[in-house]
Structure 1
């Protein structure tokens, strides 16, 4: 699907020094009808007691049973919690979706793989195991990720069955770790030398840059037949993550007959998140995502 907004390329980024300030600003801006709480992922897990990974849950008054885990980007080094995290939560709360903004471990704090995959799998586990308490349908739990977060949610879909990191930690998982749908927004996809986002690759893989690991984490080569329905959005003029990443992911999904939608824009850049900025005002791409979710039965009352 090709779309061409009539405005110049825009690039948004948020310095890590503003992350915590942004959290309070955005939470204050959320509708009063949305109840919020922090859910610490590793509380009670002795081997992970030093980990402070957390997800910020926001449940709207008109909750419809759908749940969404939100993974901000930041090159696996830091996290853009404002425009890609809490602004995203606010938009989906307006649709009746209960959201969980995931503050997963990153290289800035000394964490490389498998920390990030452990965190998102643990988030999926906790959301499903507490579905009754959270008022959600365990069969409508999805994930959206931006940039490196797009790579992470794609990993969650691709490695749910053959990459259970929680089992390696001695955690008995009684629910599926597979998200019911995945949305990858201007995603990092490949670790290939010619198209990889080098910062994301270094932050994820650390010092072990073997060819085997590059292949293992090039998601265009790892899509299984059980991959959940996937939505991809990317801009051809993206100056941070090469557009070819998204094209390769889409081709791989199509080759495996995975239900998917690929929305492409000629201009738009990278890092715009779900802010009500020029890109959102021109494209209203949030409405296209809403339509896609309804088509896949993920926005039911």
Structure 2
């Protein structure tokens, strides 16, 4: 056969016609996991201190990739817990408080995504969508803490019905959510008047996991955006002391683990280092894992294949040693 342009085009057409059909079948792209449907309202009669609140709640999707969600909740007025239940629960419960600089609350990255990983380990998870301090609530900077205290009480009050151990309820907070989880852990004063029988239950967690936490409200290591949203412009030194985790009295606090990346450009690792010194001085059982790289806000998905991806396994191993979970 003489090979010329016409015969070459014919051979190419024949090859295409005889190619296995599977080679031409498009592969469906991955899709984001289905959202859990079980939710618990924190305040059935309405959140406290809301007469001057006029914001309209919204959830914004930031992801353009169908394989995952990256949503934020803004202007929350009806706080909720989203419940994720494992197929084989081990009796432990985890309250997850995502970050967002106190300007919004992340839904997926440090909420549902992290929860799914812990659910796979047999832990029943409750993801908190909380109110924000700048939205006009009477409690101001304590409005998110009201929600966190109420959430912990509800989880404990429901424990028997949910097949959970009320003495094994932990908290995980990330970034500004790490600050909120830390305040929940260390403060002993209730921030709202009781509304029902659940408010007779203790709100202090039995174990705390703080993921790249916004710990300090003081210069030079403060996350300026979180401080501005929580405390407003120009807070006094007294207010800064009151809301800086490393300046609080951690005596008698439950076991606490810190996770941080050394190259965090938003919340300097000194936030965890200063807090670690405070925990040790107060004789709190504690552990810290610092990774050379990881940045900020890595959650689960953003560190796949990198050293910081080991943090959930490190936390679970630590929790096992603390007796919060038991060997499967």
Q: TM-score range by the shorter chain?
A: 0.7 to 0.9
Deviations 1:61-99 (A, max 9, x none): 201110000011010111221111000110010011000
Would you say the 8 A contact 2:101–2:176 is kept in 1?
Answer: yes
Match of 2:45 in 1: 44
Tell me how far 1:106 sits from its aligned partner. Answer: 1.8
After superposition, residues 96-107 of structure 1 pair within 5 angstroms as: 96-107=122-133
Unmatched runs of 5 consecutive residues or more in structure 1: 1-23, 29-34
Which of 318, 321, 326 is the aligned partner of 1:292?
318
Quick one: distance in 2 between partners of 1:255 and 1:263?
Answer: 18
Match of 2:225 in 1: 199
Would you say the 8 A contact 1:72–1:102 is kept in 2?
Answer: yes
Quick one: distance in 2 between partners of 1:98 and 1:275?
Answer: 20
Would you say the 8 A contact 1:237–1:269 is kept in 2?
Answer: yes
Does residue 1:264 correspond to 2:290, yes or no? yes
Would you say the 8 A contact 1:182–1:231 is kept in 2?
Answer: yes
- Secondary structure at the aligned position of 1:165 is classed as coil
Quick one: distance in 2 between partners of 1:170 and 1:100?
Answer: 21
Which of 129, 145, 158 is the aligned partner of 2:157?
129
Match of 1:185 in 2: 211
Would you say the 8 A contact 2:47–2:78 is kept in 1?
Answer: no
Deviations 1:151-199 (A, max 9, x none): 111101100x2x21134x6666321111000000000001112111010
Quick one: distance in 2 between partners of 1:108 and 1:45?
Answer: 18
Q: How many aligned residue pairs are there?
A: 269
Deviations 1:232-270 (A, max 9, x none): 011111100011110000000000110000101111110
- The higher-RCO structure (CA 8 Å, 6+ apart) is 1
Would you say the 8 A contact 2:156–2:201 is kept in 1?
Answer: yes
Would you say the 8 A contact 1:272–1:279 is kept in 2?
Answer: no
Match of 2:183 in 1: 155
Larger mean CA deviation between 42-51 and 237-246 belongs to 42-51
Quick one: distance in 1 between partners of 2:275 and 2:47?
Answer: 37
Quick one: distance in 2 between partners of 1:119 and 1:298?
Answer: 24
Would you say the 8 A contact 1:41–1:123 is kept in 2?
Answer: yes
Match of 2:87 in 1: 61
Quick one: distance in 2 between partners of 1:154 and 1:260?
Answer: 13
Match of 1:5 in 2: none
Q: Which has the larger radius of gyration?
A: 2
Would you say the 8 A contact 1:105–1:116 is kept in 2?
Answer: yes
Match of 2:6 in 1: none
Match of 2:34 in 1: 27
